[in-house]
Amino acid sequence: MCPCHDATLFDLRSSWEAGYRHPETLKRATAVFMGPCQGKLCGKVAGDVIAALQGAAEPEERRPSVRPPLFPVRMGDLAYEDESKPAGGAA
Amino acid sequence: MTLPGVATGRPKAGYDVVVVGAGVQGLATAYELARSGVTNVAVLDRSWPGGGASGRNGEMIRSAFSSREWAQLFDLSLRRFSELSAELDFNILFSPSGYLVLSTTDEELRRQDLVAAKQAEYGVQSEILDAAEVRRLVPHANPELARGGIFQRRAGFAHHDAVVWGYLRAAARAGVSVFSGVDVHAVLTSGGRVTGVRTDGGDIAADIVVNAAGAYSDDLNLTADVHLPLVKARLEMIVTEPVKPFLRCAVATPHLLGYCHQTARGEFVGGTELPGHDETDSLNTTYHMLRDMATKWVRLFPDLGGVRILRNWAGTVSQAPDLAPVLGEAPGVSGYHLSIAWVYGFMGAPAAGRLLAESITTGRVPAVMAPFEARRLIEGRSIAESTLVVTTDGRS
């Protein structure tokens, strides 16, 4: 199911059976959507599994938010070179 | 149902206590009420339990603060965290691996002896570290920034979702009904007393209503004509790909306005702030905070320069001018209790839940809770705490 975090179909089904019956809570219970792929590998399959568990063609709820950055980015590439420079813009 | 322990069906027409908000504050309070024998309790949330700041915070836990008020409240919490896994029969992944507040500036170094002496006076055990000791404890930290610190050995961090889930399950087992998908629009009052709440599914009667609505607690207060000087604020955090263990304790850096730890799975998790507050209820993140976090964390831990950020997220709180929580009955509305204005809410919840439940069931305000009453804000009294990693007045 999720090669990043080793979540299996069994994990998803058993978490669902235990009561984690929402994409947001199933995400937190199994770590699908949360690995380095950020759902690119598991998102569609997880959605299909959720839909099947709900007995529908599509999941009732949308998948959890995709968080920025969309691809893993090295921290050093985002850091300001001038260490004294504060982040731009108003807080 | 959205989580194990969430009730199916709709709420009844009335309860002894209605708690608004199924975050860690509301659930801890409901659990402690049930433990004291008050079980006709409903917790109402418009979303899934723990979906707000309870599941978006830095997970860190300490009681080594500089003020007596904070130290005593959070020391009760720390003691509760160490017993919660057994008591709730749910592993909250509490890691008592230590909490270090770094000293960077000359002023911070000068003050750390004084702060630690105060902590000893309050009964909070902490250790003063010099540069060499800090280097042994966090060898990857930049020595220019890690020049000293105050270390609380029995503090640390826990898994925030697990704490919410543990309280939720235990509260439900004890008879509390937790509802997901019920939107509370207003607190109902009559003649200076609370009478219930108005929801999207109708009115629910209750002699006691607890406001634990997090970022929306001030909006709820206004429906009961309770006016406190609270503002909303957005905070952001990042998590990286898992890396091998390099950071055992939780670290806060007042100089950089940052806080961080490494999870058991190996991810580095941290948040930073800028002076002032970002007054919004948006949960979107911003590019300038992403860069602020990257800049500060690479500066503190240069090895993180090659480690990749996986996610950046935001959470919102409602905060008071002195950044301390508001606990207790609301001024002017009998039966309406507040557990709001939390900025350090995850770490404070086990204590707050117990103290608020005690004050509701006995009618007496526990001494540890008393300083946090709402009236202090109306009368302009502040609780002065100097070791927070957040500012409101433009200074860092």
Amino acid at B104: T
Q: What is the pLDDT of residue A65?
A: 87
Q: What is the pLDDT of residue B390?
A: 78
**Whole-angstrom distance, CA of residue B243 vs CA of residue B262:** 9
Q: What is the pLDDT of residues B341-380, one digit of tens each?
A: 999 999 999 999 999 999 999 999 999 999 999 999 999 9
Q: What is the pLDDT of residue A82?
A: 73
Residue A11 lies in a domain: yes
C-alpha Rg value of chain B to the nearest Å: 20
Q: How confident is the model at residue B392 (pLDDT cuts 50, 70, 90)?
A: low
> What's the ipTM?
0.91
The residue that leads in pLDDT, B100 or B265, is B100
| B2/A91 CB distance under 8 A | no
Per CATH, is B17-55+161-229+322-378 categorized as 3.40.50.2300? no
Return phi, psi of residue B107, to 5°: -60, -45
Peptide bond into A86 cis (omega under 30): no
Size of interface A-B (CB pairs under 8 A): 104
Closest listed residue to residue B315, CA positions, set B67, B45, B52, B126: B52
Q: Select from B276, B305, B312 the Cβ nearest to the Cβ of A76.
A: B305
Q: Does residue B393 carry a pLDDT above 90?
A: no
Closest listed residue to residue B6, CA positions, set B38, B57, B46, B56: B46
Q: Does residue B396 carry a pLDDT above 90?
A: no
Structure tokens at B107: 């002023």
Closest listed residue to residue B336, CA positions, set B190, B177, B215: B190
CATH 3.30.9.10 in chain B: give the residue spans. 96-156+231-319
If you write DSSP's letter for every residue of A40-90 in order, what string do you get?
TTTHHHHHHHHHHHHTSSS-SSPPPPPPSSSS-EEHHHHS-SSTTPPPSS-
| B2/A22 CB distance under 8 A | yes
Sheet holding B184-190, edge to edge: B184-190, B193-199, B202-205
| B291/A79 CB distance under 8 A | yes
| B311/A18 CB distance under 8 A | no
Measure A86 CA to nearest chain B CA, in Å.
Answer: 7
| B273/A88 CB distance under 8 A | no
Q: What is the pLDDT of residue A89?
A: 42
Contacts of B392 in chain A (CB under 8 A): none
Q: Which of A72-86, B54-68, B127-141 has the lowest mean pLDDT?
A: A72-86
**Mutant choice from A32, A75, A82 vs B, greatest count of B C-beta within 10 A:** A75
Q: In terms of DSSP bridges, do strands B193-199 and B184-190 run parallel, antiparallel, or are they unpaired? A: antiparallel
Residue of chain A whose Cα is closest to the Cα of B6:
A19
Range of the domain at A53: 1-58
Closest listed residue to residue B336, CA positions, set B232, B229, B220: B220
Number of domains in chain A: 1
CATH 3.50.50.60 in chain B: give the residue spans. 17-55+161-229+322-378
Q: What is the pLDDT of residue B394?
A: 41
Amino acid at B338: L
Query: For A85, what's the count of Cα atoms within 13 Å in the CB-facing half-sphere?
Result: 13
Measure A26 CA to nearest chain B CA, in Å.
Answer: 9
- The domain B96-156+231-319 is placed in CATH, from the list 3.30.450.30, 3.30.9.10, 1.10.3720.10, 3.40.50.920, at 3.30.9.10
Residue A87 lies in a domain: no
Q: Exposure pattern of A71-91 as b/e (b: 16+ CB <10 Å)? A: ebbbbbebbbeeeeeebeeeb
Contacts of A67 in chain B (CB under 8 A): 285, 310-313
Q: What is the pLDDT of residues A2-33, one digit of tens each?
A: 999 999 999 999 999 999 999 999 999 999 99
If you write DSSP's letter for every residue of B302-348 in order, what string do you get?
GGGGGSEEEEEEEEEEEE-TT---EEEEPTT-BTEEEEE--SSHHHH
Residue A75 lies in a domain: no
| B310/A28 CB distance under 8 A | no
Q: What is the pLDDT of residues B3-16, one digit of tens each?
A: 999 999 999 999 99
Q: How confident is the model at residue A90 (pLDDT cuts 50, 70, 90)?
A: very low
Q: What is the pLDDT of residues B31-82, one digit of tens each?
A: 999 999 999 999 999 999 999 999 999 999 999 999 999 999 999 999 999 9
